[in-house]
Structure 1
């Protein structure tokens, strides 16, 4: 399992457009991927589902932990981390 934590930089958080792009990026991978908001394991989602991702209500400044487990786990976490670092609005 590979895991990374980071702070959301998008000015408007992960609203519909960036959440859609994030979800599409996650869906490319075979690994099981999870996103945890602010370290609260009750606020966990499968980012391959945009509805699940949007249900977390992710705003600028929130801490997200991205974890992946599977054959392409390193690539999945790296791409999703880079997505959040870019701060796409």
Structure 2
């Protein structure tokens, strides 16, 4: 399993529109991706689940951990980390 950490750049954190955009991008990846707050990595949710992502209550500046396994996992995580660490 590959794991990456990201710091949330969006002012709204992962709520509403940023969470929807992230979940949509996660759903487009070739492998399933999990996301959790770095402070509670055992409480991961599927990254392509809008409600799951929003339930994490991630704010700007929070660290999250992304995990994936399989062919394409490294590129999928790089794509999603770049998205999370870019404000807007």
- TM normalised by structure 2 equals 0.89
Q: Is the 8 A contact 1:23 1:50 kept in 2?
A: yes
Q: Distance in 1 between matches of 2:11 and 2:41?
A: 24
* Aligned pairs (5 A) from 1:21-32: 21-32=21-32
Give the match's secondary structure for 2:22.
Answer: helix
Q: Is the 8 A contact 1:7 1:61 kept in 2?
A: yes
Structure 1 gap segments, 5+ residues each: none
CA RMSD of superposed structures (Å): 1.3
Which aligned segments of 4 or more residues in structure 1 are displaced greater than 4 angstroms? none
Q: Is the 8 A contact 1:35 1:64 kept in 2?
A: yes
Structure 2 gap segments, 5+ residues each: none
- TM normalised by structure 1 equals 0.88
Q: Distance in 1 between matches of 2:45 and 2:21?
A: 16
Q: Distance in 2 between matches of 1:24 and 1:6?
A: 18
